[in-house]
Amino acid sequence: MNENKRSKNYTNGTIGFLLLLIVLIALLAWITYGTFDGIIGTLAFTIVGMLNVFPWFIPFVGIPLGILDTLGIFGFGMYNITLNIAHLSSSWMTVVWFWIIGILGSIIDIILMYVAISRLKKLKYRKKEPHSNYALVNCSIIDGNINNPVIKKGVVLIKNIVGEGEIPGLINGVGTDEEIEIPDDYKVIDLNDGFVLPGLINAHCHLTGSGKPMKIMNLSDKAQEKLAIVMKTWIGKKILKNMMIKNTTNALNAGVTTLRSMADPFYLDLELRNEIDNGKYLGPRLVCAGMGICITGGHGGLI
């Protein structure tokens, strides 16, 4: 009963607000045009004028196209088209409504751009599952054991098509081309006398850093404190997370398959580790410390 009553009150409130809005628009239209046709045309323009969201809402190009259309340089002349449909002459009311719709269209454009760019980034960093077994041939193999010689004319078999309980990406054969027989269901990849060696391990890193000198370290203490405040916000954490995704991907592409994070802000390293493990992103193994323990004002104290 209470829920039905709330729903009824909401409906009545909405209807009351719309009626009040119609009366207000009609009153302003009477003051502006002074005719009954002007009132009807203005009410019609409030609906027809919503077409002016075009071309503003089009992702990436909507805002510049909207500006060009408004200036009469390029476009359909949406403002004049909607005025003609409503059988109304231009006034301050139509201009204001046109710009309100244009601003709303621009906001939609920005939101759609953000969503599109976010989706594209996720596609870039997504985990790609191989669909066949691989045989790496014509390579020199360094197995990491100092007592073993380099294997010339080497072959590495990688099993990706696995059964239940098996792990894809298993190396199930290493040796010379005379020792290793390549099964028929393995795709042969010629490495052209390249080298194969075990993945490298970075035993001390911070995922927010790329390994290059960071200019922010040259900022004053006050500037770094202000930056730390920004980092604690939603947008700051988003920027940090994107930096970490980029840095871990670059590390993997450089042959580093394990990273040992020695403290990163807001437990974002643990969050990224779990996302990589769950297949959301392609990345190296992460051994994480989480938040660092620091003295106030000392090394790492800002985060």
pLDDT in tens, 190-204: 999 999 999 999 999
Question: Is there a domain that residue 297 lies in?
Answer: no
Structure tokens at 33: 């045009």
Domain-located, residue 141:
yes
Same domain, 51 and 27: yes
Domain count, the chain: 3
Quick one: 140 and 209 in the same domain?
Answer: no
What are the residue ranges of helices labelled H in 72-220?
A: 78-85, 92-125
Cβ neighbours for 139, distance < 8 A, ≥ 6 positions apart = 154, 155, 156, 191, 193, 194, 195, 196
pLDDT at 134 over 90: yes
Residue 299 domain-assigned (yes or no): no
Q: Which domain holds residue 186?
A: 133-196
301 within some domain: no
Residue 248: alpha-carbon gap to chain centroid: 16
Tell me the average pLDDT across 38-50. 90
Do residues 38 and 20 share a domain? yes
Confidence of residue 228 (pLDDT cuts 50, 70, 90): confident
Give yes or no for a contact between 275 and 281, defined as CB atoms under 8 angstroms apart.
yes
Nearest residue to 78 (alpha-carbon basis) of 46, 56, 108, 110: 56
293 in a domain, yes or no? no
End-of-domain residue from the set 125, 147, 165:
125
- Bridge partners for 175 per DSSP: 155
Sign of CA dihedral 196, 197, 198, 203: negative
Q: Are residues 74 and 97 in the same domain?
A: yes
> Can you list the alpha helix ranges (DSSP code H) found in the chain?
2-33, 36-48, 62-71, 78-85, 92-125, 221-231, 234-253, 268-277
Question: What pTM was computed for the model?
Answer: 0.57
Q: How large is the average pLDDT for residues 278-301?
A: 84
Indicate if 219 and 251 belong to the same structural domain. yes
Q: Identify whether 19 is part of a domain.
A: yes
Q: Which of the listed residues 125, 145, 175 is the one where a domain comes to its end?
A: 125
Q: Could you tell me what percent of the chain has a pLDDT over 70?
A: 95
Q: Are residues 76 and 11 in the same domain?
A: yes
pLDDT digits (tens, 9 = 90+) for 72-81: 888 788 899 9
* 190 and 216, same domain (yes or no): no
